[in-house]
C-alpha cells in the first residue's frame, strides 16, 4: 500500500483524509471503515424510536412529559413526506388544548427522533438534565415536555403556538453523516406559530460526546433562550455573542453558571 503524505494530519480531524491507496483503490481497512460508517448512518435513520421509554426517562427532571404523535403513520412515510412530520395529529392537538389552559408558559420543549433515533435517545436526556434545573431556578414556566416520533423541526411552531408559549425549543436527531450518527440538534424560536420559517430559528448542532458536549450545549441554549426573551426575537436577528470558555460548573447540575462574554 502507498502511504499518503498527509497521514500525520489525521490526528487533527475525523474527516476521511490521507486514505492512501492500494493499486487503483483505497486500502481494505479504509473501505471496511467506510462501510461500517455507512451502516451506522442507515441504522440511525431506520432504527425504531420508543417515545414512551424516553418519556419515562424524563420522569426525574421536575417537568412532566407527554407522548404525542405527528400526522406520519410510519417511518417510510416520514422519509417521503416531510410535510406530514410538521403537523400534529388530531388527538395530540386536543391534548395540547388541555395543557394550554394550565398556562401561561414561557417555554415549550419538543423531543423527537428526527433522522437519528440514536441521537435522541442518547443525548436529549443529558441536555435536559443540565438545562431544565437552570431554567427552573430562573423561574421559567416550562410546559410539559412533548415527546413524539417522526417529527420535523417545524412541528415546534404548532406545539408552541397551541400552548401559547413565548418560546419553543426542539431537540431533534440530526441527519447522520459518515461519522456522526449520534448527533443531536437543538432549535429555538421566539413566539412560535403559523408562518414561521427557518430564518426565525436559532440552531445549536453537533451535540454529542465527540462534538459539542451536552453540558456545553445546555449552557449555550440557556444563554440563547435568555437573550431571545430579553430582545423578543430569534433567528437571524439573534446573534450568539456567548463564549463557551466563560462556562463555570460548580457542584451539582443545578448550579451551572453562565456568564456571557463582556
- Which tens digits make up the pLDDT trace of 195-206? 999 999 999 999
Q: What is the mean pLDDT of residues 81-100?
A: 94
Question: Which candidate, 96, 86, 227, places its Cα nearest to that of 154?
Answer: 86
List Cα–Cα distances, 49 to 24, 88, 110, 117, in angstroms: 41, 17, 15, 5
3-state secondary structure the chain: CECCCCHHHHHHCCCCCCCCEECCECCHHHHHHHHHHHHHHHHHHHCCCCHHHHHHHHHHHCCCEEEEEECCCCHHHHHHCHHHHHCECHHHHHHHHHHHCCCCCCEEEEEECCCCHHHHHHHHHHHHHHHHHHHHHCCCCECCEEEEECCCCCHHHHHHHHHCCCEEEEEEECCCECCECCCEEEEEEECCCCCCCHHHEEEEEEECCCCECHHHHHHHHHHHHHHHHHHCCCHHHCCCCCCHHHEEECCCHHHEEECCCC
By the 8 A CB rule, do 255 and 130 touch?
no
Range in 96-100, 176-180, 226-230, 234-238 the model is least confident about: 176-180
pLDDT at 238: 95
Joined grid coordinates for residue 67: 407522548
The string of pLDDT tens digits covering residues 123-170 is: 999 999 999 999 999 999 999 999 999 999 999 999 999 999 999 999
> What does pLDDT average to over the chain?
86
**Greater model confidence, 77 or 258:** 77
Q: What is the pTM of this model?
A: 0.83
**Once rounded to an integer, what is the mean pLDDT over residues 102-129?**
94
Contacts of 248 (CB under 8 A, 6+ apart): 257, 259
- Residue 254's pLDDT is what? 35
pLDDT at 32: 78
Question: Would you place residue 19 in the very low, low, confident or very high pLDDT band (cuts 50, 70, 90)?
Answer: confident
Beta pairing partners, 120: none
pLDDT of 244: 53
What domains lie within the chain, and their CATH numbers?
A: 7-44 (no CATH), 48-258 (3.40.50.11240)
What is the percent of the chain where pLDDT is above 90? 66
In the chain, % of residues over pLDDT 70: 89
Amino acid at each position: 500500500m502507498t502511504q499518503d503524505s498527509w497521514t500525520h494530519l489525521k490526528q487533527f480531524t475525523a474527516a476521511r483524509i490521507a486514505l492512501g491507496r492500494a493499486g487503483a483503490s483505497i486500502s481494505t481497512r479504509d473501505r471496511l471503515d467506510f462501510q461500517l460508517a455507512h451502516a451506522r448512518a442507515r441504522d440511525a435513520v431506520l432504527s425504531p424510536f420508543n417515545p414512551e421509554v424516553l418519556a419515562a426517562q424524563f420522569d426525574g427532571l421536575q417537568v412532566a412529559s407527554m407522548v404525542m404523535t405527528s400526522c406520519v403513520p410510519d417511518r417510510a412515510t416520514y422519509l417521503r413526506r416531510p410535510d406530514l412530520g410538521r403537523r400534529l395529529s388530531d388527538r395530540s392537538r386536543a391534548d395540547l388544548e388541555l395543557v394550554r389552559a394550565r398556562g401561561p408558559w414561557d417555554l415549550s420543549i419538543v423531543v423527537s427522533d428526527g433522522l437519528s433515533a440514536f441521537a435522541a435517545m442518547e443525548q436529549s436526556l443529558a441536555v435536559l438534565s443540565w438545562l431544565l434545573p437552570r431554567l427552573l431556578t430562573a423561574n421559567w414556566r416550562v410546559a410539559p415536555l412533548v415527546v413524539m416520533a417522526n417529527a420535523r423541526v417545524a412541528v415546534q411552531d404548532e406545539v408552541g403556538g397551541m400552548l401559547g408559549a413565548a418560546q419553543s425549543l426542539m431537540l431533534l436527531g440530526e441527519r447522520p453523516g459518515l461519522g456522526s450518527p449520534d448527533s443531536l440538534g437543538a432549535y429555538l424560536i421566539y413566539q412560535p406559530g403559523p408562518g414561521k420559517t427557518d430564518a426565525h430559528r436559532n440552531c445549536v448542532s453537533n451535540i454529542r460526546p465527540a462534538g459539542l458536549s451536552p453540558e456545553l450545549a445546555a449552557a449555550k441554549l440557556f444563554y440563547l433562550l435568555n437573550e431571545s426573551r430579553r430582545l423578543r426575537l430569534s433567528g437571524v436577528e439573534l446573534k450568539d455573542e456567548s463564549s463557551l470558555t466563560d462556562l463555570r460548573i460548580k457542584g451539582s447540575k443545578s448550579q451551572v453558571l453562565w456568564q456571557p462574554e463582556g
